[in-house]
Structure 1
């Protein structure tokens, strides 16, 4: 069992990962939650997927994200909190011309940190989808992103 460590993870700190070209920083991890920062350049995205056992949140810190939440398009701007209950299809897309920085967290942590560790520096999208399914992240077919 992993308990939450106390303290501060400073801005720009945390384990740095490259997941399909996006920079992620792990900010906190324990059995009950997993928090990470994403840095998405214009045009970067994570396709629509489902976490069957985890609630997920996004706090947009800089820029904006277009989100597809349960089949509907919406936009979150700096300061907005996005709530995505378990089982709800969701994906995020930086469709703007500026970078976006956001804090994500899931509860419970489940297998997501282990998945991120495996995906670091991986470039084969089909393999990413396969490994993700083994870690309780199920990607929908590409047309779900339209």
Structure 2
């Protein structure tokens, strides 16, 4: 078996040398320079991009208001959520599950899923995608906002329809299929 650095992995395999071209990343979700994007009714903050992790994963801080969450979709990469605050209802292969603060949920690659915040309080999730790319999709289809806690922009019905069409037209490029 081969690791992401091209070295052999397994019992007794040597650990590759340190790649000193890679730098430490310290991500603060409230950093004014962080990339904050309004997507699917929520505000998503890109904590770590694939570029910053050597193509290994991305990490996104999601603030999902009551009623927020993405439509049914699937993609060819793993997606893991850790719920930091609040609760979501996750639909996985047509079956509903509740996940609340402290829970971690892993969505296998290619499985249809969606989630919604059905409570009356915001939910906060950390989302890891491996390999990365989902953060780039969010940047391509979402609307920039000023901070992690900024409310999503109020979009007219025409603007909402344009965002949905944009997401549908770009989804395949980012290894995603919208099931709506």
Q: TM-score range by the shorter chain?
A: 0.7 to 0.9
| Alpha carbons 2:75, 2:175 under 8 Å: kept | yes
Contact 2:41 2:65 in 1 (8 A): no
Distance 1:16 1:131, change over 3 A: same
* Structure 1 vs Structure 2 CA RMSD: 2.0
Shift of 1:22: 1.6
* 1:100 corresponds to: 123
* Greater radius of gyration (CA): 2
Q: Matched residue of 1:6: which SS?
A: coil
Which structure 1 residue ranges, 4+ long, deviate > 3 Å from structure 2? none
Q: Which runs of 5+ in 2 are unaligned?
A: 1-20, 144-158
Higher relative contact order (CA 8 A, sep 6+): 1
User: Which structure 1 residue ranges, 5 or more long, are not aligned?
Assistant: 142-146
CA distance in 2 between counterparts of 1:4 and 1:83 reads 27
Aligned to 1:144: none
- 1:128 to 2:167 alignment: yes
Shift of 1:87: 0.9
- The answer to whether the 8 Å contact 1:36/1:104 transfers is yes
TM-score normalized by the length of structure 1: 0.85
